[in-house]
Structure 1
Amino acid sequence: MIKNYLKIAWRNLKKDKQFTLLNVLGLSAGLACTLLIYLWVHDELRYDQFFDKDDQVYQVLEHRKSSSQQLTDESSGMMSEVLKLQNSEVEYAAAVAPSDWFQKFTLTSGDKNIKAAGQYTGKDYFNIFSFKMLQGDRGKVLNNKNGIVISDDLAKRLFNTSDNAIGKPVKFQQGKYFYVSGVFEKLPVHSSQQFDFVLSFDYLADVQGWVKNWGDAGPHNFIMLKKGTDINTFNKKIAGMVTKNNGDTTRSAFVTRFSYNYLHNTFNHGSRVGDRLAYVKLFSLIAIFILIIACINFMNLSTAKASGRMKEVGIKKVVGAARGQLITQFLSESLLMALLTMLIAIAVTWLLLPQFNQLTGKQIRLEFDAPLLMMLIAITLFTGLASGSYPALYLSKFKPLAILKGKLSSSFAELLARNGLVVFQFTLSVMLIVAVLVVYKQIQYIQSTKPGYDKDNVIRFDSEGKLQGNEDNFTAQLKNIPGVINASFTQHGLVGRNYGTAVVSWEGNTNQDIYFEGFYGGYNFIETLGMKMAAGRAFSKNYGTEGGKVILNETAIEAMHLKNPVGKNIKLFNKSLQVIGVVKDFHFESLHEAVRPSFIVLAQDVNPWYKLIVRIKGTQQKQTIAQIQHLYEAYNPGFPFSCNFLDDAYQKQYETETRVSILAKYFSFLAILISCLGLFGLVAFTAQKRQKEIGVRKVIGASVNSITIMLTKDFLKLVLIAVLVAFPIAWWVMYQWLQGFAYRISIGPGVFIIAGTSIIFITLLTVSFQAIKAATANPVKSLRSE
């Protein structure tokens, strides 16, 4: 029986090639989009889910009462150590100075100088995180401050082999030697932590004591809790940890599951900047929308073509076919169509995956594992049953006598259902157009908004080796290169939050909770970046020593309620500093955040994290960078030169939004295309159904224009209704999305005019083609049988 159903289904698909082609194009495009989005969502959900004891691994976060920083992943480096000592529930604990604090370090073995990403971690780190250890005891590899744990990939680059690496010396930053104590397998791509080597956090504390100061926050802290620990009880127990050890009542500690953070909490140097789960939900919703639109096309076209199969249904009922058998037959047709289009969609997905990976920055592969196969089966069944259910029920309900007498006519309910589905799918399409336009305009606004300094043609590179402590001398030599306009140095990355404090006081201060971002810079720091002064002056050697001076930004002056600030004194870490200038506000964070109070002080101490910043001529970039590299390598032998452009780092803050904008644009285009394919089929069917009426009208003198308008206006009405329904919904959704930006566009009428005009134009283009074709047909052909 099933074999006969499939045979009949295949014959019907071959019989009406236009109907089949439209359905295949629409469904396969919808399924390919759904499959691509599923692969992206599945990839996002896999991050940090592979650890052996994932349900026991937690990260320490802090609530801050300060209005500028409600939630942070930074705390004192003492936190994990004390948590383990004072709480029996803690099995392992480790503080981490993460790799994103630093640019790549220089490691040396023999005559090889290799740039590699590294971090400093506590002794228990590899007990908490079950990265595969190839050599060494994971519980002991960080016991010695002189030990270094490297990846097998880095071992191959340093020693040409990853075998027998234990004990081999590695020179760090052309200075101290460390000895390999362990080798781990290169980290999985689905790890949110990415590094090539690990050094002891205790070693870092020896050279940077602040990382174990309760009053400072910066390191990340991780713990492994014993099985069965009640998290709510544990969080209540540790909430006052910072207050107990430091007296700071504005900070409250708690733990959250580590694997939860990738999707739910995205941090940038301690500041929470959003979550990825919102985009996972967004694209999941888009996938559902596109799949629904594709299914609606199938339903509409199948129902519209029902009159052509009425006699088939009537004869089958007369010879004894039950309604259930007819439903099964029609569902088998839709399932066969769904299977056919799924196979095409898989092929399309495989072809598009390299470009999709390039757009999303991922390394997704089409692997037919159990979850993917189950998803493919589920979507195929859903598509086949959902798109075929209404036509099957509709076609099987008619009485055979009425069918064979030819007395059937389209019911109002059928017409209403079909028109309602058209309105629904175009409503979704219009919403997607509005969303794409708003996202595009916001991204364009972000990229065109000046951050308060000139970010173009500025390169950055680390102060390493002989440069440390000699930055002033080196920047002076840099300025002798013809293509260099200016040069300076700073400890700040200039993008995102790097260093800050609330330990600032001034005359009349009534608020100790204001967070200030700190910029420690050399002479010409302000001039190199092209910042503008609102009052006073920048640092200058012409005024003698400037160590006791400070420059504030406009937001800081406003928050401090200072009038005529130049010449007044403030205290920073209990050191009195004189305000010599006010710099105009500049954005060191993305436009998601409002400009924060900031101070700039002169960098005087040797700092291992200084970065050189050099402004070069835009017309001589390659030549100038080559000359800078030559000077750097002559001045600093053994250190490979590596630089990056400041504007690239600035734009990277909006990488997610930019990718979302591009993907949404493509998916919206496909949603509109699928909708128009369905509309194209419906117009063709309507024209075919009314061909005798059109022939009569032409014989009595109707023009091509009048017939075209007659066939077009009904569908245009449906699209106009969809536009009216979509606009308020789209406005509300995009208004909510824009609230995530401190600086944002307003959604003006222009967005809706463009969206409405576009969809109406596309509709007219789609409908008029078939309408004109029907209107220009020879009426003799349609009337010769009358």
Structure 2
Amino acid sequence: MFRTNLKIAWRNLLKDKQFALINVFGLATGLTCAILIFLWIDDELKYDKFFNSDERLYQLMEFKAGDESTASAQSSGLLADAVAKQVRGVDYAAAVAPPDWFPQYTLSADEKNIKATGQYAGKDYFNIFSFKLIEGNKSQVLENKNSIVISDELAQKLFGQTTNVTGRPVRFDQDTTFFVSGVFEKVPAQSSQQFDFVLPFDYFKSIKEWVNLWDHSGPLCYVLLNRNTDIQIFNRNVADIITRSTGNASRKVLATRFSDAYLYGLNSGKAGDSGKIGYVKLFSLLALFILSVACINFMNLSTAKASRRLKEIGIKKVVGARRPQLIFQFLTESLLLTLLAAAFALFFVSLLIPAFNQITGKQISFHLTPDLLLSFILIIVATGLLAGCYPALYLSKFNPLNVLKGKIGSSVGEVLSRKGLVVFQFTLSTVLIVAVMVIYQQIQFIQSKDTGYNKNNIVRFSAEGAIKGKETVFIEALKKIGGVINASSTYHKIVGRGYNHSGMEWAGKEPQPEIFFDAFEVDYDFVETMGMQLSEGRTFSKKFGNDSSNIVLNETAVKRMGLKDPVGKTIRRFGKDVQIIGVVKDFHFESLHEPIKPAYLFLYGGNTIIASVETGKMQEAIRSMEELYTKFNPGFPFTYSLLDEAFQKQYESESRVSALSRYFAGLAIIISCLGLFGLAAFSAQKRRKEIGVRKVVGASVANITAMLSTDFLRLILISLIIAFPLSWWIMSTWLQNFAYRITINPYIFIIAGISIIMLTLFTVTFQSVKAAMTNPVKSLRSE
């Protein structure tokens, strides 16, 4: 019986090649999209899940008392040690100054100078995070201040080997010598922490005094809890640890699962990092929608073709075929078609995976592992059953006498399959079109919004080596380069939060809530180089002598502090009097996900040189910068970054989602149009005699085309009525993730509606005109 069903299924596919091709291509496209999205989701869900003690690994967050929504990964550099000593249930705790705080450093060995990315971490870091050590003891590699732990990739670059390098010296920025205490395997791509080397946090504390103060916030804190520790009890015990250490009751602590941080946000204290779970859910739904659209095509076309197979079904029932046998036959046909589509889908995925990786920034490899194979089989079976179950149930239910007498008409089920499901398809397509347009406009808004400073044509590079201590001389020489408008230096990244603190006092200050200020350590001409605007007062200038005891506030800081006429007033910063000399207009140093925070600038210089360059002279200026840099710094590779690229990097997720949405929306629309094309072809074929009679009595091609197109246009209008409020609600919810966002303009819906109607007309009109132009003699000759 199974072999017979396969033969019948194959013959039916060959009998009507047009419908078979539409079904196979539609299902293959849907499966291709679903598989690619499944691979992306699988990669996202595996982020940071590979650590041996994942279930016990937590990150300590700091939040304002009574408001956990303000939780931030940044806290005091003293928190880790305090938790390890004062709170029960902690096996290990470590503070980390993450890689994104710092520029790439120059590491030297055997006359090789390599740029590398590093971080500072507490001595128990490798006990908490189970990165595999090739050499060294995880409990000892960060014990000494002069130790450095490097990746095997960096070891290969520096020493030409990955083993037997323990104890060898490495020059750090041609300044300090560290000795290799361990070598770890390159950090996996599915880790949110990416670095080439680790230095002891104790060394960082020795060179940065602020790290030893509770009032400052910046480092991250990780703990590995005891196996028997109840996280709820632990959180109650750790909540007031800052209060116990400082007497400040406004700062609370909360432990959150580290491996959840990537998906749910705040994985490294980055501004605007609200997590990826929203996009995982979004693309899960998108995959389901696209696969549903492909399955709906199959249902529509199969039920539409029912009239061709009614006599076959009637005869089978007369000779004794039971309904379960007929259902099994149609499901066999459905599964056969799905297997063919799956074979094409696998081929398409293997071709598209490199381009897909480029769009998503992933390193996904497509290999049929047992888990993936099982998931793929389940998708095929589920798709085949879903696509075939309704036609099977629909076609097998007819009474054989009515079938053979030709008394079968359109049923409610057939109406639902042909019309209700078409409405569903194009509702989804319309929602996707609106979503793509809104996402695109929000990305454009982000890119064009005034940030409060000039982010274009700003070059950044490290003030390292011989430049240290001679920044003023170097910057003056830099200003003389052709094309350079101005130059300065800073310790702040400019894009993203730096260290923040609550150590500010002023007359009339309210004790609650505690206000944290972002501190910008800058040199002279920073405001001018960045193109920032002053709302009142002045910026730092050598004309007024030493400005080291003065500060410049942003407008948000003035508002939060409740100051009127702030210029000239004296406030206290860490117990020292400082004078406000100016107020700079608000500028976005975080992403547009976040509202502007209180901030101030103070004169301190920095380890990052910034230079503004005239438009059109960037390449020439960079070459001259490299020559100057090499002259000052022999032995240091010159590497630079552009501020606008760093700004755009904040929105990588949105940009990738925008690109993926365009591709997948386009494919969903193509699949929908394929189904509509098939239905229009079948409708025209079914009504060919009616069309012939109408042409004989004088109907024009335009009349017949309009007649055949009207029914489909009604369905599209219904889908638009449903899709518009639904898409508005979905995209309004998405836009809530941004503190600064567009307003959804009505013309977006007008464009989406016109696009869908035009696509429908193009798809349906082709078949309608073809049918209308057919010679009526051929249509009526059987009469």
Whether these two folds match at TM > 0.5 is yes
Identity percentage over the alignment? 55
1:539 corresponds to which residue? Answer: 540
CA offsets 1:528-571 (integer angstroms, 9 cap, x no match)? 11111222222211111212222122222222333322222222
Preserved contact between residue 109 and residue 158 of structure 1 (Cα < 8 Å): yes
Paired position in structure 2 for 1:387 = 387
Q: Which moved more, 1:714-723 or 1:181-190?
A: 181-190
Give the 3-state SS of the residue equivalent to 2:676 in structure 1.
helix
Separation in structure 2 between the aligned mates of residue 16 and residue 756 of structure 1, nearest angstrom: 33
2:781 and 2:270 map into 1 onto residues whose CA distance is: 80
Question: 8 Å contact 1:52–1:130 — kept in the other structure?
Answer: yes
Return the offset for 1:268.
5.8
Q: Which amino acid aligns with 2:648?
A: Q
**Structure 2 matches for 1:544-623, cutoff 5 A?**
544-603=545-604, 610-623=607-620
Q: Tell me whether 244-253 or 62-71 shows the greater mean CA deviation.
A: 62-71
Q: How many residues align?
A: 782
| Aligned-partner Cα distance in 1 for 2:472–2:537 | 24
The alignment partner of 1:495 has SS state of coil
Q: Distance in 2 between matches of 1:413 and 1:194?
A: 56
Matched, 1:528 2:542: no
Deviations 1:687-745, CA, capped at 9 Å, x for gaps? 11100000000000001111101000000000000000011111111111111111111
Say if 2:347 is the partner of 1:350. no
* Closer, same or farther: CA 732–207 of 1 in aligned 2, 3 Å: same
Contact 1:268 1:496 in 2 (8 A): no
TM-score, normalization: structure 1? 0.97
Partners of 2:645 and 2:757 lie apart in 1 by: 39
Secondary structure of the residue that 1:764 maps to in structure 2?
helix
**In 1, are the aligned partners of 2:73 and 2:266 still within 8 Å (CA)?**
no
Residue 651 (structure 2) aligns with: 654
- Whichever residue aligns with residue 635 of structure 1, its letter is F
Residue type matched to 1:274 in 2? S
- CA positional deviation for 1:68: 11
The residue number in structure 1 matching 2:638 is: 641
Q: What's 2:429 paired with?
A: 429
Kindly provide the CA deviation profile for residues 291-317 of structure 1, in whole angstroms up to 9, marking residues without a partner as x.
Answer: 111100000000000110111111111
Instruction: Say which SS state the counterpart of residue 266 (structure 1) adopts.
Output: coil
1:696 equivalent in alignment to 2:689: no
The letter for the 1-side match of 2:281 is K
The match for 1:780 is: 777
Aligned match of 1:515: 516
AA in 2 matched with 1:544: G
Counterpart Cα distance in 1 of 2:413 and 2:493: 65
Q: Is the 8 A contact 1:72 1:270 kept in 2?
A: no
Q: Distance in 1 between matches of 2:627 and 2:68?
A: 43
Which of residues 623, 628, 647 is equivalent to 1:626?
A: 623
- Structure 1, residues 159-208: CA drift from partner, whole Å, max 9, x if none? 01112111111111111211111111111111111111111111222222
Letter in 2 for 1:596: K
Q: Which secondary structure does the structure 2 equivalent of 1:273 belong to? A: coil
| Partner residue in 2 for 1:370 | 370
Could you tell me how far apart the structure 1 residues matched to 2:141 and 2:574 are? 37
Farther-moved stretch of structure 1 (84-93 vs 766-775): 84-93
SS at match of 1:179: strand
Equivalent position of 1:30 in the other structure: 30
Secondary structure of the structure 1 residue equivalent to 2:224: strand
The residue correspondences of 1:199-598 to structure 2 (distance < 5 A) are 199-267=199-267, 269=269, 271=271, 273-510=273-510, 513-598=514-599
Contact 1:73 1:271 in 2 (8 A): no
Deviations 1:609-650 (A, max 9, x none): x21000112222112111111111111222211110001001
Once the two structures are overlaid, the 10-residue window that deviates more, 412-421 or 287-296, is 412-421
TM score, norm. by length of structure 2: 0.98
Partners of 1:545 and 1:111 in 2: CA distance: 41
Q: Classify the secondary structure of the residue corresponding to 1:534.
A: strand
The residue identity in structure 2 corresponding to 1:551 is V
What amino acid is the match of 1:214? W
| Greater Cα offset, 630-639 or 150-159 | 630-639
1:67 and 1:587 map into 2 onto residues whose CA distance is 24
Aligned-partner SS, 1:255: strand
1:618 partner SS:
coil
In structure 2, the partner of 1:672 is: 669
Structure 2 counterpart SS, 1:70: strand
Supply the distance in 1 between the matched residues of 2:613 and 2:511 (Cα, whole angstroms): 42
Alpha-carbon distance in structure 2 between the residues aligned to 1:192 and 1:532: 36
Q: Does the 8 A contact of 1:60 with 1:220 survive in 2?
A: yes
Contact 1:69–1:271, Cα closer than 8 Å, also in 2? no
- For residue 278 of structure 1, what is the amino acid of its counterpart? G
Does the CA-based 8 Å contact 1:66-1:514 persist in structure 2? no
Equivalent-residue separation in structure 1 for 2:708 and 2:548 (angstroms): 81
Deviations 1:643-691, CA, capped at 9 Å, x for gaps: 1000100111111111111111111111111111111111111111100
| Matched residue SS, 1:519 | strand
Question: CA 1:183 to 1:167, structure 2 compared with 1: closer, same or farther past 3 Å?
Answer: same
Partners of 1:270 and 1:376 lie apart in 2 by: 36
Which of 744, 766, 769 matches 1:769? 766
Does the 8 Å CA contact 2:98/2:268 hold for their aligned counterparts? no
Note the 1:96-111 alignment, pairs <5 A. 96-111=96-111
Q: Counterparts in 2 of 1:112-127, with a 5 A limit? A: 112-127=112-127
Whole-angstrom CA distance in 2 between matches of 1:715 and 1:266: 48
Which of 755, 758, 763 pairs up with 1:758?
755
Opposite residue 107 of structure 1, the aligned amino acid is L
Describe the SS at the equivalent of 2:108.
strand
Q: Is the 8 A contact 1:71 1:272 kept in 2?
A: no
Q: CA RMSD in A?
A: 1.5
Cα distance in 2 for residues equivalent to 1:54 and 1:68: 23
Distance apart, 1:748 and its partner CA: 1.7
> Which shows bigger deviation, 554-563 or 731-740?
554-563
Q: Counterparts of 2:690 and 2:170 in 1: how far apart (Å)? A: 88
Offset of residue 30 of structure 1:
0.6
Q: 1:270 to 1:755 in 2, by over 3 A?
A: closer
In structure 2, runs of 5+ residues without a counterpart are none
The secondary structure found in structure 2 opposite 1:436 is helix
Per-residue deviation at 1:87?
3.4
Q: Distance in 1 between matches of 2:412 and 2:284?
A: 35
Structure 2 counterpart SS, 1:92: strand
Q: Tell me the CA shift for residue 66 of structure 1.
A: 9.3
Q: Which deviates more from structure 2 when the two are superposed, residues 552-561 or residues 139-148?
A: 552-561
Structure 1: any 5+ residue segments left out of the alignment?
Answer: none
Cα separation, 1, equivalents of 2:450 and 2:774 = 59
Distance in 1 separating the partners of 2:427 and 2:32: 21
Deviation at 1:122, TM superposition (A): 1.4
Compute the displacement of 1:289 (Å): 0.5
Query: In structure 2, how many angstroms separate the alpha carbons of the residues matched to 1:769 and 1:306?
Result: 23
Q: C-alpha separation between the residues in 2 aligned to 1:252 and 1:663? A: 40
Aligned partner of 1:101: which letter? W
Cα distance in 2 for partners of 1:163, 1:239 equals 44
Q: 2 CA distance for matches of 1:111 and 1:420?
A: 73
CA contact under 8 A between 1:555 and 1:595: conserved in structure 2? yes
What is the CA distance between 1:41 and its match in structure 2? 0.2
Aligned residue type for 1:781: K
Three-state SS of the structure 2 residue aligned to 1:754 is helix
